[in-house]
Structure 1
Amino acid sequence: MMPHKLLPLLISLLLILPGCTLPTKPQQKLTFASDRAGNGDIFTLDERGALTNLTNTPNGDWSPKWSPDGAQIVFTSHRDGQSDVWLMNSDGSAPRNLSQNSAWDYSPSWSPDGKQIVFISERDGDAEVFIQATCGSLTATQLTFNEHPDKLPGWSPDGEKIALASIINGREEIYLLNLKTQNSVLPLLPSDLNGTNPVWSPGGEEIAFIGWQNSAAIDIYTLNIETQELQKRYTDTAWIGSLNWSSDGKWLLFTGRKNRNHDLMALNLESGQVSQLTDNPAWDDFPALYGRMGEWANVEFTDNKNSPFANSQIRPFVYGVNLADLANAYLIQDIGFNAIKGYVNWATIEATPGEYRWVDPDNVLHAVEGAGADALLRVHGTPEWARPPDTSLGHPAVNLEDFGRFMRELTRRYRGRVIAYEIWNEPNLNYEWGHRNPNPAEYTELLKAAYQAIKAEDPTALVISAGPAPTGDGNPPEALGDLDFVEGMYRAGAKGSFDALGSHIYSRDLPPDFDSPTDITFSRVAKQRQIMLNYDDADTPIWITEMGWSLKTHWDLGEYHNQGVTELEQAQYIQRAYEKIETEWPWVEAAFLFNLDFSLAPWYKAQQQMRWYAALNPDRTPRPAYTALMQLCR
């Protein structure tokens, strides 16, 4: 088990410095974050059900936490173009950017004396734990230095420890950082139990956390730090998160999912009863209570009158997303989409000829079906034994009969459970075609082999040709132009060997309505359509299996640097793209957003572009794009 590395610390008591005001304490209130009024705001709710929006800004504000004295709220805000840690008075006045860093900072929590904030920052390229004083210097101190991401830190009431979650070798565990002795991090949980979101009880005797084993159930546990007694307090089959204790230690507040919504919940630790505090189709999250629970369990704020989420009438259509973490498949229900794109790597399934390891596609289908969605599976990757020596994964099989046999085994196993298969990925790129010159005629032969195999086992499954990368005129031999590649397929006789033409549409920072004969725009798909018409293939539709816009970031993304958009532009462009498809392109029958959650995948570092297309933030809060998708289809 990889230990954390702990920076030697000189932790001392901090004095209130000149210039730091002392706001008054509020009356008892619940605070939470929600996109019910826009793209994410901080709200307070009193015992009468009166709701107040404290922030009301166009950009997202999330993750509120009361200061120990109730005078301030720390939260995460995107109003400066990235995720920063902010402070404001309890009435929403005097907001200020505390962390002020171009990297993303999130998941803030208070020290018990209210003088410091612990939070997660990606400023070294990975999610690490930092602390910073609330007044005076803006310098943050880094506590952890790991190659794996850290998550959701929380300070112990005695100020000596920080509990956090960390993902190591695919398993999420809970650790303690001992600030007083500078000891290495110690894992807390049994080896068969995953855990996240650790929060300290008011007295510091216990840690509550969300845990799960190899089952569909998700549980809330408490762990006594001294006796190591572990108690299961609550079980659900839907996602739960954002744990917080009440100040009297008798309740746990959390976010749960009811009726496709993220809503605020409260668990009575004595009776085991759960009360639902909000009921709204928006994303309500991060409940934090200042004061005792009192009569809160009897409060239900259920006003949906002004909800921006209205049902829309849309034509029959495949609305899909590209998904990284199967645990997030249920979110398809939140946004009202109906399909998920998963990935099948032939090389890992049949590493030895005739021996199949189906665990990965089995998991994909289990997650997709559990979310009530349809599955598009992209098949790619040639095993070493089926390709020439010293070639890469994208090289097609030497003997296409081997590939056809694999496709028959795959289709037979999932007959009736997969609506479509996309054959390969962007074969007009050199590195996706085995670091060889892209060859549409060769690809057509591979496509024909797949089509015959799939139809032999499941005639109802659709075959989608690989979406070519939008490369304009291309740059041979590194890339062949996408239009040239599509035309090359038709010249090679591809017509009739696919049920829909796959398309990948990325238009850099250009809006979907912008068109230019010399630039790569969203309307590139209409030019691909014209080639189909030129070859008398009007009856075959197009499936856009990838489309999206990447956010601006200070990280160097190589060829994609300086091609990003703002969070609000991303939301507007995605929503407009779907509207354009709906109203102007009846020959497009599916559109899969790239992507939903690659920002959450621990194997993608902050510098990797995949993360910046995501509709979710690295702390799992929804970006404006996510809210826009909910408004589109729900």
Structure 2
Amino acid sequence: LAEAEPDDLTEATDETGEEEAPAETPTPEPTSAPPAPVTGTLGGGAFELGGQTHSLANPGYMQQAGMTWVKFQHKWNPGDDPAGTVGGRISQGQSQGFKVLLSIPGVDYPTQPIDYAAYVEYLRGVAALGPDAIEVWNEPNLWREWPPGSISGITYTNEMLKPAYEAIKGVNPNIMVISGGPAPTGFFSGCADRGCDDWMYIAQMAEAGAANYMDCVGVHYNEGIVPPSATGGDPRDDFYSRYFWGMTNLYYSTFGGVPLCYTEFGYLTGEGLGDLPDAFAWAGSTTVQDQANWLAEAALLSSQSGQVRMMIVFNVDIQVWGYDPQAGYAIIRPDGGCPACEALAAIQP
């Protein structure tokens, strides 16, 4: 699925990397009636909910929503000191009653080879600080996160994931190790110098034995414009990454039943903020109430699926807006309210 020319793809700074639909993508007409509220309660089992934030400035809203995890992201540079870079965030999250997930990728648009040994040693030091989970890199299937010409699920598994898993578990076997969630895309028709389609990338990971070196499969989903229960009807096309079940079934089957961790899960809406950038026009008809209901429904389906271990809402309160509309994903809206928190609270057991 060709969605945009690579040079035209918008980067959601350090948070999202999905390839956005082109501006001419058909936009569905808004419905006249508000969506029906989600009913039911979260299923039993190990499923947990969390949210991504830069600041953890709104723990009350997160707790109202039933979130027990907070996700922070740190972009690693060689020479970084673990305590100085992420120690404070671990303490901040845990002191407020949250489990802490750290996503640790590298610099944007890398041109030099990754120093795998230095990265693994950094993660070893991070593990000693006692986070609850570590996501090993972020969207490694794209050139904006991995050096062009070396993008490969086999390389990622052998050179990074396997040694990182062994280093982290050697320090603290209770830390959950999550593989770096790829960017969902069909742009590359397989693999090319600047990226791999996520379906091929995870197939390469599986071939290299990645299931043996993670507790949970990292998955990202940020492009939905239909309810998560839908398996068709997206006006763009029926590519699997449009749908919650398309992503869930693909990733779960690829790794033979390793639990999934949605480390970025969000719905974009410009309501209350203004017009979305052209590259994000596909979300032009999504409302704040859609966002709220769909997140609650996704949490319900995840908890009942037996496949999803964790769902991290992208995002709680990031305020970046413009070409990179992260504020449109935020569940705390410009008026200070959080309809998604109310919807998620309503499904708590």
Say yes or no: does 1:465 pair with 2:179: yes
1:610-621 alignment, distance < 5 Å: 610-619=326-335, 621=336
1:123-142 map, 5 Å: none
2:216/2:259 contact within 8 Å kept = yes
CA distance in 1, matches of 2:87, 2:183: 28
| Preserved contact between residue 506 and residue 547 of structure 1 (Cα < 8 Å) | yes
- From 302, 306, 318, the equivalent of 1:581 is 302
The whole-number CA distance in structure 1 between the counterparts of 2:58 and 2:167 is 31
* SS of 1:346 mapped into structure 2: coil
Q: Which has the larger radius of gyration?
A: 1
Match of 2:63 among 333, 336, 345: 333
The CA RMSD over aligned residues, in Å, is 2.8
Q: Map 1:477-496; keep pairs closer than 5 Å.
A: 477-496=193-212
Q: CA deviation at 1:312?
A: 6.5
Q: Would you say the 8 A contact 1:544–1:591 is kept in 2? A: yes
Between structures 1 and 2, the one with greater strand share: 1
Q: Does 1:567 align with 2:283?
A: no
Partner of 1:438: 151
Match of 1:527 in 2: 250
Structure 2 length as normaliser, TM-score?
0.77
1:393 to partner: Cα distance: 4.3
- 2:142 is matched with which residue? 429
Query: Match for 1:411 among 110, 121, 127?
Result: 127
Aligned AA (2:98): A
1:364 corresponds to:
89
Structure 1 residue 557: Cα displacement? 2.4
Shift of 1:329: 3.4
Letter in 1 for 2:266: G
Match of 2:46 among 312, 316, 319: 316
CA shift for structure 1 position 556: 4.3
**8 Å contact from structure 2 (residues 276, 325) kept in 1:** no
> 2:81 is matched by which residue type in structure 1?
Y
Q: Which position in structure 2 is the counterpart of 1:376?
A: 101
Matched, 1:501 2:217: yes
Question: What is the CA-CA distance between 1:510 and the residue it aligns to?
Answer: 2.2
For residues 312 and 477 of structure 1, the distance between their equivalents in structure 2, rounded to whole angstroms, comes to: 42
Matched residue, 2:74: 344
The one-letter amino acid paired with 2:52 is: N
Equivalent position SS for 2:54:
coil
Find the aligned partners of 1:312 and 1:511 in 2 and give their Cα distance. 17
1-structure distance, mates of 2:179, 2:208: 14
1:547 aligned onto 2:265: yes
Letter aligned with residue 525 of structure 1:
T
Other structure's SS at 1:472 match: coil
Rounded to whole Å, the distance in 2 between the matches of 1:310 and 1:572 is 12
- Give the whole-Å Cα distance in 2 for the aligned partners of 1:437 and 1:529: 26
Instruction: Tell whether the 8 Å contact from 2:110 to 2:144 is kept in structure 1 after alignment.
Output: no
SS in 1 for 2:46: coil
What SS class does the counterpart of residue 432 from structure 1 fall into?
A: coil
Q: CA deviation at 1:424?
A: 0.6
How many angstroms does 1:437 deviate by?
5.6
In structure 2, the partner of 1:518 is: 239
Letter paired with 1:521: Y
The farther-off stretch of 462-471 and 502-511 is 502-511
Between the aligned partners of 1:318 and 1:336, the Cα distance in structure 2 is: 9
Structure 2 CA distance for aligned equivalents of residues 440 and 593 of structure 1: 25
CA distance in 1, matches of 2:239, 2:214: 29
Partner of 1:288: none
Q: Is the 8 A contact 1:377 1:421 kept in 2?
A: yes
Residue in structure 1 matched with residue 4 of structure 2 by the alignment: none
User: Structure 2 CA distance, aligned partners of 1:441 and 1:311?
Assistant: 39
- Partner Cα separation in structure 2 for residue 333 and residue 407 of structure 1: 28
| Alpha-carbon distance between aligned partners in 2 of 1:406 and 1:343, rounded to the nearest angstrom | 14
Cα distance in 1 for partners of 2:109, 2:66 equals 38
User: Is the 8 Å Cα contact of residues 425 and 467 (structure 1) preserved in structure 2?
Assistant: yes
Which digits, 9 at most, give the CA deviation of each residue in 1:441-487, with x for residues without a partner?
Answer: 22112111211111111111111001111113645454421111110
* Pairing of 1:210-249 with structure 2 (within 5 A): none
What CA deviation, in whole Å up to 9, does each residue of 1:69-126 have, x standing for no partner? xxxxxxxxxxxxxxxxxxxxxxxxxxxxxxxxxxxxxxxxxxxxxxxxxxxxxxxxxx
Judged with a 3 Å threshold, the aligned counterparts in structure 2 of structure 1 residues 485 and 556 are, in CA distance, closer, same or farther, namely same
1:568/1:327 CA distance change after superposition, 3 Å: closer
Q: Sequence identity of aligned pairs in percent?
A: 26
In the alignment, residue 88 of structure 2 is paired with which amino acid? N
CA 1:528–1:364: 2 relative to 1, 3 Å: same
2:42 & 2:210 partners in 1: Cα distance? Answer: 37
Separation (CA, whole Å) in 2 of partners of 1:394 and 1:361: 25
- Consecutive unaligned residues in structure 2, runs of 5 or more: 1-37, 233-237
The answer to whether the Cα contact below 8 Å between 2:277 and 2:322 also exists between their aligned partners in 1 is: no
C-alpha distance in structure 2 between counterparts of 1:313 and 1:439, whole Å: 36
- Contact in 1 for aligned 2:64/2:342 (Cα 8 Å): no
Residues in 2 aligned to 1:551 and 1:611: alpha-carbon distance in whole angstroms: 9
In the superposition, the TM-score normalised over structure 1's length comes to 0.44
Q: Determine helix, strand or coil for the equivalent of 2:311.
A: strand
1:506 Cα deviation after fit:
2.6
The answer to which structure has the higher helix fraction is: 2
| Residues 272-302 of structure 1, C-alpha deviations (whole Å, 9 max, x = no match) | xxxxxxxxxxxxxxxxxxxxxxxxxxxxxxx
**Contact 1:392–1:434, Cα closer than 8 Å, also in 2:** yes
TM superposition shift of 1:608: 2.5
Give distance in 2, aligned partners of 1:440 and 1:342.
Answer: 24
Structure having greater relative contact order (Cα 8 Å, sep ≥ 6): 2
CA distance in 2, matches of 1:496, 1:380: 21
Whether the aligned pair in 1 keeps the contact of 2:177 and 2:214 (CA below 8 Å) is: yes
Tell me if the contact between 2:102 and 2:133 (Cα under 8 Å) persists in the aligned partners: yes
For 1:514, the aligned partner's letter is A
State the one-letter code of the partner of 1:498.
Answer: M
Relative to structure 1, the CA distance from residue 518 to residue 309 in structure 2 (aligned partners, 3 Å threshold; closer, same or farther) is closer
Assess if the C-alpha contact under 8 Å between 2:70 and 2:101 holds in 1: yes
